[in-house]
Structure 1
Amino acid sequence: MATFFGEVLSVYSRAVEEEDREDEDENEEDVEIRRELEEKRTVHLKWCPEVSQEKLLCSHLIIAAGTNAAGFVSTFILNPARWHPVGWMALWNERNKGSGVLNSPPAPGEPGCVIYQQKEGGAVLICQCTCYVAEDQLFQWTEKLFAGLQKRGLTVTVLSDAPIAEYKTADYLHGRDIPFLCALKTSAYKEVVNSPFLDQPNIVTGLPAAVLCHCEVHGIPAVLYQNYSDVISADSVTMEAYKPALTSTKSVKLEPPSTAILQKFTRGFDVHDNLYT
């Protein structure tokens, strides 16, 4: 601080001194609680016993994030005769209390992240994620998933759900069919994109954004298809809107829709999708 005569005086902030004192007074119990909480929020990747190699060879990774994205891959792709589960991600947070079991994959119908492999050739993996991944777990999730894969020759496709209320446009979607797809890609992705690009000022957040950022940093070709819908739960029309994203993909074959699986995803939501219940 300078005086009226230009003399420089050293001044200490009492507020800073008090904060430093509080940090020093932090007891061992607080440190232990914080450490236990960090351990509890750790994301775990568990491979099935038959997966023996250190890193899976993979030419195409499809990540389905959200109820309708997961419903689409289950209904149109994951035929049990062609696919089998090879691993899962286990995590716990305030909105996802049941998916932190490391020793066993999520039970059918429970939120979770399950990884499937194509039986013939095994070059394609699908990660079906229906659980909530918190902000402080996104980096862990992406790092651990990609750490288990060979990145050479890898292409990534992300399918993501998004509410139409988050879509920003000047023309109020006049004349536009809902649901609809918008895409983002990394600079390394050179293939055809089968939907319009996401225009400004719209942004992508959460797990899809974390995956796309990871791929951009590591030079992995990746494309994200965000599905904007006016429903908040599983819906057959919203699921089918994902079809253009994978119709030109040679490594994945779209199956005739499974009515039983479609009903499993949509059952129980019709009553709750209105203002009065």
Structure 2
Amino acid sequence: MATFFGEVIPISTRAYDEEEDEETVSSVNVKLSMNSPGQLNCSALIVAQGALACDFAESVLKTEDTKIIGSIEVERERIEKPEYTEFHARMPVPCHLYQTPTDVIICIASKDVTADVANKFSEKILSVIQHTAPVVVISSHHCSALLGHYASGEDCIIKSLKSPEFNFKTVFPRLPQPATLDSVPAAILTSSIVTRRPCVIYAIYTEAYSTGDLDLIASPLMTAFKCEPFKTLVSQTLDKSKLQSYRRKNVRQENIDRYM
């Protein structure tokens, strides 16, 4: 019986990962308005990451009296310039910082805050607030990140993690293992644990990111902000009718009739 099937010849290919060939240096910088001090007067910090979480912060948490006080910008510098290409790099989007009349700082994390700069981002945002100010991170994810800890058909699942210094009751159950959090939520929680800050993470899991999903997460998240330590700081501004304005704006240009 023949056991030799011929010589193995490797096939050449031009396919490659362009990102692997480009070394970059990333910097994260805080830019505050001229009237803002180096360390902000902060009663609480809310950081939003992910499409749904950012939409909730922009649409529900912000008020008419909320003012923009600065931004956090991620700058990436290529060490080796790539060869000419017809593709143009997307312009980076800053993470806007807002301040409410009750001195709650809201940070909207842009897509440029990726896992590789999450620690730098965490260091920068925590450096401009008081050590005692409670921190809450709301992040949105696909339900597959729960690694099977959900029943098919569940519209919205919210889990939580907190630092030992967060001495308040969490509205939602603890994130089950082996599911984990990474990027911004993990970086801020880790830094809060090390520096002994009160911090809680509310991770939102849905099957899609659409205008209708914001309606699903609004009520439970509002419940969380109506509890201590955010009750006197945020709850008075929570109004579900703000979602109607969000639907009218239709930032994502969706056909939202099916969600009404």
> What TM-score results when the alignment is normalised by the length of structure 2?
0.75
| Structure 1 residue 154, shift from structure 2 partner | 1.1
Describe how 1:184-203 pairs up with structure 2 within 5 A: 184-203=161-180
Q: What letter corresponds to residue 260 of structure 1 in structure 2?
A: S
| Structure 1 residue 266, shift from structure 2 partner | 5.2
1:97 aligns to 2:75 (yes or no) = no
Residues 65-85 of structure 1, C-alpha deviation per residue, up to 9 Å, x if partnerless?
11111111222221122x111
The residue that corresponds to 1:125 in the other structure is 105
Same amino acid, percent of matched pairs: 23
| Structure 1 residue 265, shift from structure 2 partner | 5.1
Structure 2 Cα separation of the partners of residues 126 and 219 of structure 1: 21
Structure 2 Cα separation of the partners of residues 263 and 132 of structure 1: 27
| Structure 1 residue 269, shift from structure 2 partner | 3.9
Contact 1:62 1:158 in 2 (8 A): yes
Contact 2:51 2:209 in 1 (8 A): no
Q: What letter corresponds to residue 165 of structure 2 in structure 1?
A: A
Change (3 A) 1:218 1:166: same
Correspondent of 1:113 among 95, 106, 131 = 95
1:45 aligns to 2:30 (yes or no) = yes
Unaligned runs of 5+ in 2: 1-21, 79-88
| Structure 1 residue 238, shift from structure 2 partner | 4.0
Describe how 1:150-165 pairs up with structure 2 within 5 A: 150-151=130-131, 153-165=132-144
Q: CA RMSD in A?
A: 2.4
| Structure 1 residue 233, shift from structure 2 partner | 4.1
The residue that corresponds to 1:26 in the other structure is none
Describe how 1:67-82 pairs up with structure 2 within 5 A: 67-81=51-65
Aligned length: 216
Structure 2 Cα separation of the partners of residues 55 and 232 of structure 1: 35
**Larger-gyration structure (1/2):** 1
1:55 aligns to 2:39 (yes or no) = yes
The residue that corresponds to 1:252 in the other structure is 234
Unaligned runs of 5+ in 1: 1-32, 100-110, 272-277
| Structure 1 residue 270, shift from structure 2 partner | 4.7
Q: What letter corresponds to residue 129 of structure 1 in structure 2?
A: A
> What TM-score results when the alignment is normalised by the length of structure 1?
0.70
Q: What letter corresponds to residue 98 of structure 1 in structure 2?
A: M
Q: Secondary structure at the match of 1:43?
A: strand
Structure 2 Cα separation of the partners of residues 184 and 262 of structure 1: 31
Structure 1 Cα separation of the partners of residues 129 and 30 of structure 2: 12
Structure 2 Cα separation of the partners of residues 203 and 43 of structure 1: 25
